[in-house]
Structure 1
Amino acid sequence: MAKIHSHFDHVGSYLRPQALKEAREAFAQGKISKEELLDIQDRLVKELVHHQVENGLEVISDGEFGRSWWHLDFLWELTGFEAYQQEASYKFHGAKTRTTNVRLNGQVAENPNHPFYRDFEYLLSITPAGVTPKVTIPSPSLVIKRDHRSDLYADYYESWTDFLDGLAKAYHDTIQRFYDLGARYVQLDDTTWAYLIQQLETYQDQPEQRRIYEEIAEDDVYVINKALEGLPEDLTVATHICRGNFKSTYLFEGSYQTVAKYLGQLNYDIFFLEYDDERSGDFAPIVDIWNGRDQVELVLGVITSKDPALEDIDAVIDRIQEAAKLIPLKNIGISTQCGFASTEEGNILTEEDEWKKLRLIKTITDQVWG
């Protein structure tokens, strides 16, 4: 079976309906049961799937309606992690996040009772024929020397390499479990590369300090590729390289050039890349990210999910043609640069705004790729 490639794709998250926010708050206060919350969540996911299909998407998600954060809810449900409250919030430009984080509390392993499996099985059950349901989870790189999540590795592993191997196996087993449940498209979301861009640029004239971040990049490549080893041939695995997305703000900036050589080594089928403003730099790095791989697609995030204003169609088509001078047009897709709600708070736009954005992308892809 061929890999899934759609020039019209979406990163995954959608604005949470008010009814879902109210239900999650009622559950947190003990006013409704988990079953009642899931009933409401399922009903709203079903409506979301209908809207996605209605707007022309052939790859759909559950909008990440079952989680509060794009990454932490997944990680704290893996065996070997626990949630805790740290002192500081994440340093977004112009907004303050909640202080939730995760840390090791044992050896990492796939959790056979992970709640994301249940959410996927429901999504699969309501997906129309001819449409592909996509799973979105955070990359294992989010754990590797990021925000203190791997600080306690020596309490549970004999060596750093043992920890990396254990993390890779936990991810491999989790992705395989999704496949066994019927998933044929899994996406690993990743802010680590944008973090590394910033650190590598900051220390470009300090080789010893820079080497610390080069080693993190090398460890990330090692773990990701080890996690992807031996997965079924008909499974499409994507990644979204993100610069942060919270209430229409961001975390990081800088060109992909600094990390392009590492991204070009990753054995993904699809790369979602942020290109909605000047923070992302020019298209030059896509040559090294694509790395001459005929079956690899780069989905350029030239439409912003942070602002309701609609982009000019001709200007977007000009940007696509600019990228097509560097890599083949058939290996390019477009999307928003990120989801609409990487956390349950969501970006500063309306549900109708997000559908207008997606209809714009559909119009452009129809014009460019027919």
Structure 2
Amino acid sequence: MAARTKPPFRADHVGSLLRPPELLRAREDAAAGRITREELRTVEDSAITDAVRMQEEVGLRGITDGEFRRGSWHMDFIYALDGISAADDKVKVSFHNEQGDIEFMTALAYVGGKVGVSETIFGDAFAFLSEHVAAGVPKLTIPSPSMVHYRGGRAAIDESIYPDLEGFWSDLTAAYREQVRRLGELGCTYLQLDDTSLAYLNDPEQRRYVASIGGDPDAQHVEYIRHINEALAGRPDGMSVTTHMCRGNFRSSWVAEGGYDHVAEALFSELDVDGYFMEWDDARSGGFEPLRFLPDGEKQVVLGLVTTKRGTLETKDDLLRRIEEASAHAPLDQLCLSPQCGFSSTVDGNALSYDEQVAKLALVVEVADEVWGR
């Protein structure tokens, strides 16, 4: 089996990691004014250095900063774009787990001005990460352009600024192209666009929600794919881009259900990325049949078979069996392995321990080495 020398790697991970207790305390102290932003930064630096070392020690090649400088996987980025702020109104999002539901109130992003990017978002964070990766490729995760639009739709975009939605999309994708260009100048060769919408839209309940806010539930994923491609147009040579699609990840809970059947054909044939991180950690994620739309060639699908939502460690035999099942629908040489999502999409983190997190990452590497070789 051919070794992979560029991302995504045979053993990979989505990006976020459990925040250590000292970092959580420092964030609380900074929010309360008990320590300065500079003091918080020092704690973040130390925690990220430790996280990088852990990833390298378990054998991962794609190395992230765990998203330790963020409160959320996506909103820190979105609010840093010009023209976008938190809306006054909040929306209730229902997350589900085996014990019941969690109601989460969150602010919508409101587009009240012309969208742009004045500064390279997460540029300093990526530069610090790059300086501390000794063995591997520094990876940066940012939300997809779709995430600026999905939750609020037309109502979250000021009509006096953007009477025509195409004007909004034109400015947003131009801002992303500039962001990607600047990241390339910083030496970023592994960029991931996180996009829950492309998984949510497989769920009939989510498609009903899209219709209720004026969207086209049958074709919205096609529109999003077009705009992601616009955002990535002209990306720097040598930059690998992946996307990650999950059905929600908050305190070991999820939002949506259903296989990838609704989006798979357009996703695999039209989205211009090098790899797809997709979750298949339980029955609500559906089967591997949508992989039949993966075209022969260089595109990779990273099978998210190891759950981050609980600490129980999967068995090697079970993972080997499921990889074999997936390979009945797509060439084994176009598959990789990872956890199904991050371990801590928000500062809250999922319900597992640090040691359980490390064990899962190490298992991913061990199984990938057995299937594809070093």
Range into which the TM-score falls when normalised by the shorter chain: over 0.9
Q: CA deviation at 1:200?
A: 7.7
Change (3 A) 1:43 1:98: farther
Q: CA deviation at 1:149?
A: 7.6
Give me the whole-angstrom Cα distance separating, in 2, the residues matched to 1:306 and 1:251. Answer: 13
Change (3 A) 1:147 1:209: closer
Name 2:114's counterpart in structure 1.
107
Q: 2:69 aligns with which of 52, 66, 70?
A: 66
Give me the whole-angstrom Cα distance separating, in 2, the residues matched to 1:317 and 1:95. Answer: 33
Q: State whether residues 11 and 240 of structure 1, in contact with CA within 8 Å, keep that contact through their aligned partners in structure 2.
A: yes
TM-score (norm 1): 0.93
Q: 1:337 aligns with which of 333, 337, 340?
A: 340
Name 1:122's counterpart in structure 2.
128
SS in 2 for 1:89: strand
Change (3 A) 1:315 1:163: same
SS in 2 for 1:90: strand
CA-to-aligned-CA distance 1:101-153 (integer Å, 9 cap, x gap):
32112111123153x1111111011111x410000011111122423586224
Count of aligned residue pairs for this structure pair:
362
Name 1:186's counterpart in structure 2.
191
Change (3 A) 1:19 1:89: farther
SS in 1 for 2:91: coil
Give me the whole-angstrom Cα distance separating, in 2, the residues matched to 1:166 and 1:46. Answer: 36
CA-to-aligned-CA distance 1:239-293 (integer Å, 9 cap, x gap):
00110001101000001011112212100101000000001110000121x233x
Name 1:37's counterpart in structure 2.
40
Letter of the 1:166 partner, please give it.
D
Letter of the 2:118 partner, please give it.
N
Change (3 A) 1:167 1:117: same
What root-mean-square deviation, in Å, do the aligned CA atoms of Structure 1 and Structure 2 show?
A: 2.0
The runs of 5 or more residues in structure 2 that have no matched partner are none
Change (3 A) 1:300 1:181: same
Q: Does 1:55 align with 2:58?
A: yes
Letter of the 1:222 partner, please give it.
R
Change (3 A) 1:135 1:208: closer
Q: Does 1:252 align with 2:256?
A: yes
Q: CA deviation at 1:160?
A: 1.2
Q: 1:218 aligns with which of 205, 217, 222?
A: 222
Which stretch shifts more, 33-42 or 84-93? 84-93
Give me the whole-angstrom Cα distance separating, in 2, the residues matched to 1:150 and 1:231. Answer: 31
TM-score (norm 2): 0.92
SS in 2 for 1:22: helix
Name 1:156's counterpart in structure 2.
161
The runs of 5 or more residues in structure 1 that have no matched partner are none
